Each structure stands twice: as C-alpha cells, then as structure tokens.
Structure 1
Amino acid sequence: MSNFLPNALIKRLGTNPKFDQEAFIAAHRDGEKLTSIRLNPNKEVKLSLPLAGQVPWCSYGYYLEERPQFTLDPLFHAGCYYVQEASSMFIGHILNHLKVGDSPIRALDVCAAPGGKSTLLNSYLDGQSLLVANEIIKSRSVVLQENMIRWGAANVVVSNNDPSAFRRLPGFFDLVLVDAPCSGSGMFRKDEDSIDEWSEANVKLCSERQQRILSEIMGSISTNGYLLYSTCSYSAEENEQILDWLIDTYELKSVDIPIEEQWGIERTTSDVHGAHGYRFYPHKAQGEGFFIGVLQMSGINPSFPLKKLKTEKAPVSRDALKGWVQDPDQFGYFVHNDNIHIFPKSLELPIKAVQQVLYLKNAGTMIGKWLGRELIPSHDLALSIHQDSDIRSVELELDDAQNFLRKEPLPVELFADVKKGWCLVTFQGVSIGWVKVLGNRVNNYYPKEVRIANL
C-alpha cells in the first residue's frame, strides 16, 4: 500500500499536537495486523492456539502469534473463546473500574451484533445480572443470537428492535453500551476497501445517526446509571463532539477511567466540557483504531414499575428440568412454542418486562422442546454453562469432532458404553452438541444452520 489514507482525515488529525503523522501512516502501510481472542471464563480449557501475550487492559484477552483457521477448532464453536479486536476489550477494564460485577445490575448493548462486546459484558457482569443484547438489523441479530448461545449463559436476552423501542423501558438499565455505527476509519488496516468509502460527508451523516440512536435510549438509563459510548472512528465529530453534545443535552457527567502509560492509549478531553475520552491508534497501542468515553446519569429518570407485573405459572412442571439443568431450583422458566427457557430466578420480573415491550429473538437458555412426557434437548443446552453435570457424554478426538461439526455420522463404536438415548459429545471436556444413540447407529443432531460446510 502507498500513501492511500484520506488527506482530509490526516489533516484533521494533524491539528492535535500529539499526533505523529509519519508513524500513523507507517502503521497503516507496514504495520503488523494483530489477531486477538478473549477467553470465556465459564469454559476454561487449555487452548492449543499460538498465544503471543496478554492484552494488557483485559484479563481474558490474548494476542496470537498468527491467525489460525478458527473453523478447524471445535473449541471456537463451543464458545470457549471469542475472536475480538484487542482495543475493544478495553471495555473490560472500564467495567472493572466501575465495579459492575460486584452486584446484580441490568445492562443493555444497543448495537450488539455480532456479539463481541455483549459476550465481554456477560463475562464481567454478576451472574444474576440481566444483559439485553439488541440488534436492529434482522440478519445480524441471527448472528448475535448464535454467538450468545455459544457463550452459554442464561441471563441474556437477545432482541431485534429499533433503539426507539427502549423508550418504553424508562430508567430500566444501570449500564448502557452504545458501540455506534460510524465512518469506520479505525478499521482501515483490517479493511482496506473501507478507505475508498470514507468521506467527510459520511462522517457528518454518521454523527447525526449516532445522535439519533443516543437520543432514543437516554431515557432508559437509570439514575446514576452509566453510558459507555464507543466508535471505531478517528473523527472528533463522532467522538469527543458527541460527548459534548450529550452533556449539553442531558444531565450527564464525564467519568475518568485510570489507564497505564505503557498501554499506549491516548487520553483526550472534549473542547466544551472537558469530557474524558480514550483513543487507540495502531502506532501507539497494540490494537486497531477505537474511541470510548464513559458518562454517568446525574439527573433523575423515572423508573419502570416492575411491581405492577404479574408472573404466570408455567404449564410444565419443574420436574422437566431435572436431569438436564444443574441446580434447577435456582432457575425460573417459561414455555414458548413448547420450548422451555430457563433464566436466573431473580430475573423473572425484568424478563417479563422486556417480553412485554420488545421483540425478542431469544430469552434465557432454551433447554429444549417439551413433548408432554419427555424433553427433546436443544443445541442451546449443549453449549450452556448450566447443563447438568451428570448428562451422559462421549469425548471425541479432533477428527471425529470436526466430522461432527460437519453434521456427518459418527462411528457407532465410539458409543459402545452408552445406552440408547441422548448423549453429549465433547472435545477436551467441553460439550459441542448432541447425538442420539439408537443401538446400530448414532444420529448427529448438530444444527444444520450452523454446520461447517468445508473443513
């Protein structure tokens, strides 16, 4: 690549006395493209991936020496880790500083697909917290749902709504993350085609879109609740100027997040209100372009009246959970289209609330379809961190695990010690799906829609 970056962008960045133009251009022309992953703390395994060191601002994040073929790794499909850009993992450091994991809260990821930031949020939240992962685009919400299922937790709701829908949940969320659609200049190294699509007009359009999204969701933040606003743009119009607009328009105050100098993150302040922002440049930090700021609601927002909600008795006995779910008494559940969904019992009313006002793709963990006397277990349960530890399972070697992910039949000899019926298949001790043993054959129940076509 030659000097290919938009001159208008370079000129704007050059007004910052800290900006090193030569290093910035060199990082885009010659810089090494990094691959990083973030581990699932609820699915601890020993990875065979070539680790090259920890992401300094995220305890679960690691750089890789090279980018492997993730589709060849059953542990990727099992949700043991997520492939995520390292700069975005800075959200984990923010969550630690805000101590959001110390007690149950309600959190919303407004623009959540494909799921990187939602799975990160879920890793740092208390297990009794509610996470609503929302995506407005229907096709992208399907990918979001698949990734949240892989992550395995039952305290998650996946929704497919325009941000305006959250006006119906006043003061409901203690933390809202808006990773806003942006002009994408921070991704120039990873996606060279986006360079040709960048323009000052698009920066302006994105800034207006960002303000629209934020204005729709502001009323859903609780008193003293937090707003995390981020983009993958370098433009001040989409970053610091948005923070100033938010403080001008709403009763918000900026939150200062401590950082280590050696991380290479640039601390900025907005022109009008001095709001704190954090910029990632690829020539300074080990990550791609990223911006984030944290604001706290200092005004008083009305709150959604949970006490007025009435719960309904599920048409299926709790006995249906036994043998499938670990500690079933710790979970609430409901039945939708004969499918049983479980969730932490403490979230019964909050989930009822979002069911009433949002279009949901999924709620909690769907453990299977109830047929009156038996449960047909779901793939969601196979990947759940809440499955009963006594469920029968058979450990597979890599070749057989890959064949299973292709939805090919498995040798019946592998299941010689298993009686007829449902059985989990595992790889390195982590379940990847279901089979049904029928004596002379084994039926592979890996879902067709997520099977690997070519390995």
Structure 2
Amino acid sequence: MNELNFPPHFIASLGAENGFDEENFVKAHQFEDAPTSIRVNPFKPSTLKSTQNVPWCANGYYLESRPSFTFDPLFHAGCYYVQEASSMFIDHIFKTINSNSDEEIKVLDLCAAPGGKSTLLNSALQPTDLLVANEIIKTRVPILTDNLNRWGTANTIVTNNDPKDFGRLKSFFDIILVDAPCSGSGMFRKDPDAMNEWSESNVNLCHQRQERILADIYPALKEDGYLIYSTCSYSHQENEDILDWLCAEFELESVRIPVHNEWGIVETQSPQQKAWGYRFYPGKVKGEGLFASCLRKKEHSGDLASFKNNTQQKLPGKELDQVRSYINEPDDFYYFKVNDDWMAINRAHKESLNILQRHLYIKKSGVIIGKLAGKDLIPDHELALSLIVNKDAVLETPLNKDQAIQYLRRDNIDLSTTDKGWTLMTYEGHPLGWAKLLPNRINNYYPKEIRILSAHPPREW
C-alpha cells in the first residue's frame, strides 16, 4: 500500500473533469503499482520475452515485473525503449493522421528529451522522412542523442533551440508534436515526489508557458499539417483550455481520433470550441496520466525564404571512397564533414539539413561514421549502433551475456580469437560498439560516458 499525500485542493480541482472517478483514481494510486512497459525497435528485431500488448501501440508491451534494464545488453543495443504505456498513444495518433501518406514528410518533436516519443515517431517513419528532435534544455540533449543513436536510423537531426527559433522555418513541418512542459500530475503514481511540486499557481504558470510555446511554433507548421499536443497533467487549464485557445486564436480544426471502449481512454471535448481530447486515468487504463489531442492547420503562414548553399564542402574523393566502404547502400546517403568527423544522412535530407543549419543550433545530424587516420577509419560509436553500417566490411565478435556486460562496463574481456583489427562487439547479433583486437590484448572502445557503473547484479527477465 502506498501512503497518499495528494496536494491540497488537487482532488477537488478534478471533480468536474470528464471521466474522473475519485474512488477509482485514489485506489489506483494507493493499491496499484505503476505498470512496466517497453516498446520494441522494429528495425532491430530480437527475442525479447514479453507478455501483454499495449492495445494502442503495436510495438508496445507490458512486462510482468521490472527487470534490471541496465544489465540487459539488448537495451544498450537499442532493441527496445522503456516507455510509459499511456504515452505510446502518440503512436496511434500519428498512424491515424499519416495512414495514407506516400509523400516524404518532415516531423518535429519539439520537447524531445529523453527521447521516448522521438524514437516512437521515428519507428513510424520511412528513411526518406525526416525527424527533427529538439530539446530546449541543453543539459538534457546528451540523453536524447544517446537514445536516438541506439535506435539506429540516419534520418534524424537533433537540435537545441528555443521554440521561438522555429518561427523562422515557415511552413517547414508536416507534423509537429508538442509534448508540453506541464504541472506533472499524471506522474503522481510513478513519481510520488511530484506531489510536493504541484500547486494551482504552477498549473497557471504552465498554462501560460504552453500558450507561448504553441504560438512560437505555429508558423513552422504547413497548411493542412497536424499539431499533436499532449501533457502529463489532468488539469483542464493545461488541456481543454489550451485547445479552446488554439482553435480561437489560430486557424486550427480539431481531429477526432478513433479509440476503442475497452481501452479505457476517456474522450472529451473542450467547452467552447468542442475540440476533441483524450484523457488517461490510472485505474481506467493500464498506464499513467496523459492528455493528448490533434489539430489540423487550415491556413498558410507564408513560405520559407529561398536559400541556396553555395559553400558545399569539397570532399577528397579517395577519402570518400574509404568512408563509403563502411556504409550499407552507400549511394543512399549524403556525406559531409564536421571538423574531422565524417557524417552521413539520407540523401533525401541534404537540402533540409542545409536549411536547418542556417536557422538552428544542431547537435546531431544523421550518423557519425568516424575519423580517417591515414588509410584507416577510426569508427564512431554511432556507426556501430546504426542501421547503415556495412557488416560485410567489418569483423564481428559475438559475446555471451557475461562478456557483453564486461564490455559495457569497459572491463577487460577474455576472448579466444586470432582476428586482428577493428571489430563490432555483438550480442545475439546486435552490435554494442567497437573494440580493437591486438595480438596480446583487446582495446575496448565503448564510450566512457555511457558505460555501466552500477554494481548491482542483474535480475533475469
């Protein structure tokens, strides 16, 4: 049993909310633990042991108990993401609005860290589609980048910008997800400490911040493009009131998303504009608190100023040939250098990359391949985890679970091998990173900043 200490006036503030059942809500927080759920990476199929499917997300699964993900090499290989089940509803919204699109699309995840919704969106995109994952807070960018690196795709750009910076990218994006900073009441069961930070005044401050963010980002959405808005709050000021404001202030129309009754999701409409929203209450759904909605833009905000990049890099042909040899389907990619690092991004995104470089602060573009030292490539960790690495061009060294954990700790590994040179260290066929095989030792190149530090023994799935 969990000791409950809801903030003053919190329960009373929810009394009039559509679908709110106080008794059921309190019982769920007091007697039910937050469920553990994962979303598998469709690009890295594995033999994960899973149980019940998350009904609104085909790649989402509930686990019977919470294992030690830190000690599962498949987690580090990017075979799945540990994500709260309710937030996977964004997948259902995205696939509903994008179900018949054969055209290349550009998607922005505005408040992206730590990367759950970015990897979710990325799973639903084609390689010729582009995902821009932005994080406003600089210190949260590394975890976002690490999680997207694990996912392995080359059609992602990570930026570190304020929402107002995107106003310069008029009519650039087809879909924008704003998972807005909020008062966090939907996470009370998962994070009881959040109760101490909740207040009615903070709800009002969040409402004002949400309006500013949405107004800033609005010009970047194309006509007939979609805005997906979500929070982990129950407060109508941050949810239905925001929908009313959006529909009144801008040329946006609400999009109704089909849901099944058995899912337990509460469908709502805002009081003034009757915009559709979707509420998730613990006790009604197997997940945490969420509000989500979708709107379509019905006006044109102008066109992006034309821009031609006349300063394209002159890349040395012999070096480029060396780099291309490490890439699967090398003609599908555009290559460029940032300092000494060779990079690759899907060729379809060359022009978009040039535009974004002009307007935004970019932290990651596509995949870092590595640095050239003479005739040798010093491969980057991003290349190891990517889907574009040419496995026919490199050695692979399979590891058992104990060896994989040693590798992920950057410990010494005892291997019997006569191979020499750079090798992909793999677990169940999935790359974990690079090592260099030398006559008398193995140099472990797993990045220090993400190595396993915990000393706790693993628990089996």
Shift of 1:372: 4.7
1:316–1:335 CA contact under 8 A, matched in 2: no
Shift of 1:306: 5.2
**Hey, which bits of structure 1, 4+ residues long, moved more than 4 A?**
none
Paired AA for residue 130 in structure 1: L
Shift of 1:336: 0.4
Aligned residue in 2 for 1:62: 61
Cα distance between partner residues in 2 of 1:400 and 1:274:
57
2:307–2:355 CA contact under 8 A, matched in 1: no
Q: Which of 378, 381, 398 does residue 380 from structure 2 map onto? A: 378
Q: How does 1:7-26 map to 2 (within 5 A)?
A: 7-16=8-17, 18-26=19-27
Q: Count residues with an aligned counterpart.
A: 450
Aligned residue in 1 for 2:90: 91
Q: How does 1:95-106 map to 2 (within 5 A)?
A: 95-99=94-98, 102-106=102-106
Does residue 170 of structure 1 match 2:170? yes
2:33–2:189 CA contact under 8 A, matched in 1: no
Cα distance between partner residues in 2 of 1:397 and 1:3:
44
Aligned residue in 1 for 2:151: 151
TM-score, normalised via structure 2 length: 0.95
Aligned residue in 2 for 1:407: 410
Shift of 1:352: 0.8
1:5–1:25 CA contact under 8 A, matched in 2: no
Aligned residue in 1 for 2:335: 333
Cα distance between partner residues in 2 of 1:241 and 1:249:
12
Give deviations 1:139-183, integer Å, cap 9, x for gaps: 101111111111111100011111111112111111100000000
Aligned residue in 1 for 2:396: 393
1:78–1:150 CA contact under 8 A, matched in 2: yes
Cα distance between partner residues in 1 of 2:170 and 2:18:
42
Aligned residue in 1 for 2:209: 209
SS at match of 1:308: coil
Shift of 1:5: 1.9
Aligned residue in 1 for 2:446: 446
Cα distance between partner residues in 1 of 2:222 and 2:361:
22
Give deviations 1:82-139, integer Å, cap 9, x for gaps: 0000000001111111126643211111100000000001000121111110101111
1:323–1:388 CA contact under 8 A, matched in 2: yes
2:74–2:80 CA contact under 8 A, matched in 1: yes
After superposition, the Cα gap between the structure-2 partners of 1:310 and 1:279, relative to the gap in structure 1 and judged at 3 Å, is farther
Cα distance between partner residues in 2 of 1:427 and 1:2:
42
Paired AA for residue 96 in structure 1: K
Paired AA for residue 198 in structure 1: W
Shift of 1:412: 4.2
1:168–1:357 CA contact under 8 A, matched in 2: yes
After superposition, the Cα gap between the structure-2 partners of 1:121 and 1:311, relative to the gap in structure 1 and judged at 3 Å, is farther
Shift of 1:310: 4.1
Higher mean C-alpha displacement, 120-129 vs 307-316: 307-316
Gaps of 5+ in 2: 456-461
Aligned residue in 2 for 1:369: 371
After superposition, the Cα gap between the structure-2 partners of 1:3 and 1:406, relative to the gap in structure 1 and judged at 3 Å, is closer
2:309–2:354 CA contact under 8 A, matched in 1: yes
Shift of 1:313: 3.8
SS at match of 1:143: helix
Cα distance between partner residues in 2 of 1:195 and 1:404:
40
SS at match of 1:333: strand
Cα distance between partner residues in 2 of 1:32 and 1:260:
24
CA RMSD of aligned residues (A): 1.4
Give deviations 1:30-49, integer Å, cap 9, x for gaps: 113100000011000101x4
Cα distance between partner residues in 2 of 1:164 and 1:299:
19
Shift of 1:311: 6.4
Does residue 32 of structure 1 match 2:43? no
Cα distance between partner residues in 1 of 2:454 and 2:270:
49
Paired AA for residue 279 in structure 1: R
Aligned residue in 2 for 1:291: 291
SS at match of 1:352: helix
Cα distance between partner residues in 2 of 1:150 and 1:316:
30
2:167–2:219 CA contact under 8 A, matched in 1: yes
2:277–2:291 CA contact under 8 A, matched in 1: yes
After superposition, the Cα gap between the structure-2 partners of 1:306 and 1:441, relative to the gap in structure 1 and judged at 3 Å, is farther
Cα distance between partner residues in 2 of 1:87 and 1:14:
22
Cα distance between partner residues in 2 of 1:130 and 1:314:
25
2:18–2:268 CA contact under 8 A, matched in 1: no
Percent of residue pairs identical: 50
Paired AA for residue 247 in structure 1: C
Aligned residue in 2 for 1:350: 352
Give deviations 1:404-424, integer Å, cap 9, x for gaps: 0001122242x22x2x21110
Cα distance between partner residues in 2 of 1:178 and 1:386:
29
Cα distance between partner residues in 1 of 2:113 and 2:55:
25
Shift of 1:223: 1.0
SS at match of 2:20: coil
Aligned residue in 2 for 1:303: 303
Aligned residue in 1 for 2:458: none
Shift of 1:14: 1.2
Cα distance between partner residues in 2 of 1:86 and 1:398:
28
1:163–1:213 CA contact under 8 A, matched in 2: yes
Aligned residue in 1 for 2:6: 5
Paired AA for residue 20 in structure 2: F
Cα distance between partner residues in 2 of 1:316 and 1:92:
42
2:17–2:236 CA contact under 8 A, matched in 1: no
After superposition, the Cα gap between the structure-2 partners of 1:314 and 1:128, relative to the gap in structure 1 and judged at 3 Å, is farther
TM-score, normalised via structure 1 length: 0.96
Paired AA for residue 384 in structure 2: A
Shift of 1:4: 2.2
Aligned residue in 1 for 2:77: 78
After superposition, the Cα gap between the structure-2 partners of 1:264 and 1:129, relative to the gap in structure 1 and judged at 3 Å, is same
Shift of 1:348: 0.3
Cα distance between partner residues in 2 of 1:274 and 1:7:
30
Aligned residue in 2 for 1:191: 191
SS at match of 1:443: strand
1:265–1:280 CA contact under 8 A, matched in 2: yes
1:369–1:377 CA contact under 8 A, matched in 2: yes
SS at match of 2:52: strand
Aligned residue in 1 for 2:250: 250
